[in-house]
Structure 1
Amino acid sequence: MQAFHLIGAAPFYTNSFLLITEADHAVIIDPAAEVQEYDKILREKGAVLTHILCTHGHYDHVGSAGGLSREWGAKVWCEPADCGGTQFFPLKGADFGYEEGGNLTVDELTFTVWHTPGHTEGSVVLLCDTYLFVGDTVFQGSIGRTDLEGGSSRKMDESLRKFAALPIPKETQLLPGHGDFSTYGEELKTNFYIRNALRNA
């Protein structure tokens, strides 16, 4: 696997990730950068985009999904609850949603998915090998906002408790939708919001 980190435009600087398998199939997690940025890497590597995986449906995470899907014929995964066809949730639909605890396989890559509503109703986290793509569920030392459309502080607390019990190694790299990277273990140990949700269980 080859992995690339791209960043969306200001003011959000959304983290986006492009993975290329050994068979030259590509997966984008949260298509937030410009279409041509992905195209450049894909063409340089001789790869074909086949899967677009959205951790949730906010406009700063899905902005290039439609253009990339049309250009490459790639399928889009996003929870139906986050496909509103609005300015805030621009996707009108997706090819697939996610099965709780289910696996999505692309060549040698396997993504395991858990639903984590709270930032949005359709938020998910995705584990692939040693990478945990968490969207806006968890940040380094923080969590996603719950006061926006589709958000819920109660559901976020429930999701944080679920998150803290995931069967994954503590050294797994935590890749959030914004800001610096961390590890799963570091956030369990130091993230105030996770620790507070566990105390209030």
Structure 2
Amino acid sequence: MKVHQIQVGNMQNFTYLVVDEDTSEAIIIDPSWDLIELEMIIKRNDLKIKYVVNTHHHFDHTLGNEAMSDSTNAPIIQHEYSELKHDITVKDGDFIEFGNSKLKVFHTPGHSKDSICLVGDGKIFSGDTLFVGNCGRIDLPGGSAKELYHSLFDVLYSLDDNMVLYSGHNYGPSEVSTIGQEKITNHVMQKRTEQQFVEMMG
């Protein structure tokens, strides 16, 4: 599975092209701005886009949905709690398959009700659930410190330490990290009680 990580827009968002190298079938994760660059990579590598996938519904992760779906004929996938227009609904435990590759859907609410992480081939696409060095904010509609605590510690904390972290924004000291590295250096991944976490998040 090959990953193209593209920083887009003025909010330091990451859009991803995830490619099954056996078949050149690919998915787009969180298209928003700078779609020309995305289309150039697709064309240059002769990729067949199977799906457009959103980690959650916020506009800075979904702005390019319609345009990319139109230009590639790929249906849009979102979590069942999303209220945005989409073609395919997924829930916790589902798989998104493209070529010979697949990513498992983990429902990880906290930043938003419909937040998901996509996990497979030693990689996690975490959207705004977990950043390098931080996590997504919880003060927007649908945000919950309590839910984020359980997403981080009941779901992400138990993943393999070597899993490579690809997050939704370039907000940290590096563009990628690992789950193990975040357990050591990320203040939100330090073991504490739910109450302590909620208080820390304000």
What TM-score, normalized by structure 1, do the two folds share?
0.87
Q: Note if contact 1:146-1:152 (Cα within 8 Å) is conserved in structure 2.
A: yes
When the two chains are superposed, the root-mean-square deviation of aligned CA atoms in Å is 1.7
- Find the counterpart in structure 1 of residue 164 from structure 2: 173
Q: Note if contact 2:105-2:117 (Cα within 8 Å) is conserved in structure 1.
A: yes
Match of 2:183 among 167, 182, 188: 188
User: Counterpart of 1:107 in structure 2: which amino acid?
Assistant: G
User: Counterpart of 1:97 in structure 2: which amino acid?
Assistant: T
Match of 2:88 among 83, 96, 102: 96
CA distance in 1, matches of 2:80, 2:97: 21
Q: Please list, as runs of the form range in 1=range in 2, the aligned pairs for 1:23-172 lying within 5 A after superposition.
A: 23-83=23-83, 92-166=84-158, 168-172=159-163
CA distance in 1, matches of 2:19, 2:166: 17
Q: Note if contact 1:56-1:122 (Cα within 8 Å) is conserved in structure 2.
A: yes
Identity %: 27
How far residue 133 of structure 1 moved from its aligned partner, in angstroms, is 0.4
CA distance in 2, matches of 1:39, 1:200: 43
CA distance in 2, matches of 1:95, 1:68: 13
CA distance in 2, matches of 1:112, 1:33: 26
CA distance in 1, matches of 2:91, 2:115: 12
How far residue 159 of structure 1 moved from its aligned partner, in angstroms, is 1.2
Q: Which runs of 5+ in 2 are unaligned?
A: 196-202
| 1:17-62 Cα distance to aligned partner (Å, 9 max, x none) | 1022221212111113322211111111111211111111111111
How far residue 73 of structure 1 moved from its aligned partner, in angstroms, is 0.9
Q: Note if contact 1:135-1:177 (Cα within 8 Å) is conserved in structure 2.
A: yes
- Find the counterpart in structure 2 of residue 18 from structure 1: 17
How far residue 135 of structure 1 moved from its aligned partner, in angstroms, is 0.4
Q: Note if contact 2:146-2:194 (Cα within 8 Å) is conserved in structure 1.
A: no
Q: Note if contact 1:18-1:29 (Cα within 8 Å) is conserved in structure 2.
A: yes
Secondary structure at 1:41 match in 2: helix
CA distance in 1, matches of 2:156, 2:50: 31
Q: Note if contact 1:80-1:94 (Cα within 8 Å) is conserved in structure 2.
A: no
User: Counterpart of 1:126 in structure 2: which amino acid?
Assistant: L
Secondary structure at 2:6 match in 1: strand
Secondary structure at 2:9 match in 1: coil
Count of aligned residue pairs for this structure pair:
190
Q: Note if contact 2:30-2:62 (Cα within 8 Å) is conserved in structure 1.
A: yes
- Find the counterpart in structure 1 of residue 9 from structure 2: 9
CA distance in 2, matches of 1:66, 1:134: 22
| 1:143-164 Cα distance to aligned partner (Å, 9 max, x none) | 1000011111111112112234
Q: Note if contact 2:153-2:189 (Cα within 8 Å) is conserved in structure 1.
A: yes
- Find the counterpart in structure 1 of residue 198 from structure 2: none
